[in-house]
Structure 1
Amino acid sequence: MKALILVGGLGTRLRPLTINTPKAMMPVLNKPFMAHVVDHLMGHGVDEVIFTRGHLAGQMERYFGENYRSCKVTFIDEEKPLGTAGGIKNCERFLDSTFFALNGDVFSTIDLSAMLAQHRSNNAVATIALTPVENPSAFGLVETEKDNQIRRFIEKPRAEEITTDLINAGCYILEPEIFGYIEPGKNTSIERETFQFLLTDHRPFYAFVDRNSYWIDMGNCEKYFQFNMDMLNGRCQCPLTPPAGTSIGDGTFVDPSAVFAGNVMVGRGCSIGPGVRIEGPVIIGDRCAVGNNTVLRNSIVWENVEFSPDDVVTGSIIAGRSRLGGQNRISDSTLADGVYTPSDYSLSGSQIWPGTALSN
Structure 2
Amino acid sequence: MNIETLFINENQSVLEAMKHIDVTAKQILLVVENNKLKAIITDGDIRRHLLRGGNLEDKVKDIANYKPRFIYDKDKNNAQELMKKWSILSLPVLNKRFEIQSVVFLKDYEIGRDHSVNAPVVIMAGGLGTRLHPYTKILPKPLIPIGEIPITEHIINQFMEYECNKFHLIVNHKRNMIKAYFSDAEKDYQLEFHDEDIPLGTGGGLSLLKGKVETTFFLTNCDVLIRANYKEIFDFHKQNGNKITIVAAYKHLTIPYGIINMDSKGEIATMIEKPEYSFLTNTGFYVVEPEVVDRIKDYKAIGFPDIIEQQKSLGEKIGVFPVSERCWLDMGQLEELEEMRKELGV
TM-score (norm 2): 0.56
- Cα deviation, residue 129, structure 1: 0.5
Matched positions, count: 208
**Equivalent position SS for 1:73:** strand
- Counterpart of 2:289? 175
Give the C-alpha shift of residue 15 in structure 1: 1.3
Unaligned runs of 5+ in 2: 1-118, 256-275
Question: 1:51 pairs with 169, 180, 187, which one?
Answer: 169
CA distance in 2 between counterparts of 1:163 and 1:212 reads 13
Question: 1: distance between equivalents of 2:134 and 2:147?
Answer: 20
Q: What amino acid maps onto 2:283 in structure 1?
A: A
CA drift of 1:130 comes to 0.9
User: Quick check: 181-190 or 113-122, which moved more?
Assistant: 181-190
Structure with greater helix share of residues:
2
Q: Which residue of 2 aligns with 1:37?
A: 155
Whole-Å Cα distance in 2 between the matches of residues 195 and 17 of structure 1? 31
Q: Is the 8 A contact 1:89 1:179 kept in 2?
A: yes
In 2, the alpha carbon distance for the partners of 1:91 and 1:136 equals 42
Percentage of identical aligned residues: 25
TM-score when normalising by structure 1? 0.54
What is the Cα deviation at residue 172 of structure 1?
0.8
After TM superposition, what 4+ stretches of structure 1 lie above 4 angstroms from structure 2? Answer: none
- Structure 1 segments unaligned to the other structure (5+ residues): 138-161, 233-282, 284-360
Separation of aligned partners in 1, 2:189 and 2:335: 31
Equivalent position of 1:4 in the other structure = 122
Q: In the alignment, is the contact (CA less than 8 A) between 1:7 and 1:53 conserved in 2?
A: yes
Per-residue deviation at 1:48? 0.6
Task: Report the CA distance between 1:20 and its aligned residue.
Answer: 1.4
Distance in 2 (CA, whole Å) between partners of 1:49 and 1:67 is: 14
Counterpart residue identity of residue 202, structure 1: G
In structure 1, the partner of 2:323 is 210
Contact 2:162 2:231 (8 Å CA) reproduced:
yes
**Counterpart amino acid of residue 287 in structure 2:** I
The 8 Å contact of residues 172 and 198 in structure 2, kept in 1 or not, is answered as no
Task: Tell me, in whole angstroms, the C-alpha distance in 1 between the residues paired with 2:252 and 2:342.
Answer: 19
Q: Which has the higher contact order (CA 8 A, sep 6+)?
A: 2
* SS state at 1:197 partner: helix
Is the 8 Å Cα contact of residues 219 and 288 (structure 2) preserved in structure 1? Answer: yes
**Secondary structure of the structure 2 residue equivalent to 1:165:** strand
Q: Aligned partners of 1:66, 1:4: CA distance in 2, in Å?
A: 21
Matches within 5 A, 1:167-246: 167-191=281-305, 193-211=306-324, 214-232=327-345
Q: What is the RMSD computed on CA atoms of the aligned residues? A: 2.3
Letter in 1 for 2:161: G
CA distance in 2, matches of 1:181, 1:211: 32
> 2:141 is matched by which residue type in structure 1?
K
In the alignment, is the contact (CA less than 8 A) between 1:67 and 1:73 conserved in 2?
A: no
The CA distance in 2 between the partners of 1:39 and 1:168, in whole Å, is: 22
Cα distance in 2 for partners of 1:221, 1:194 equals: 28
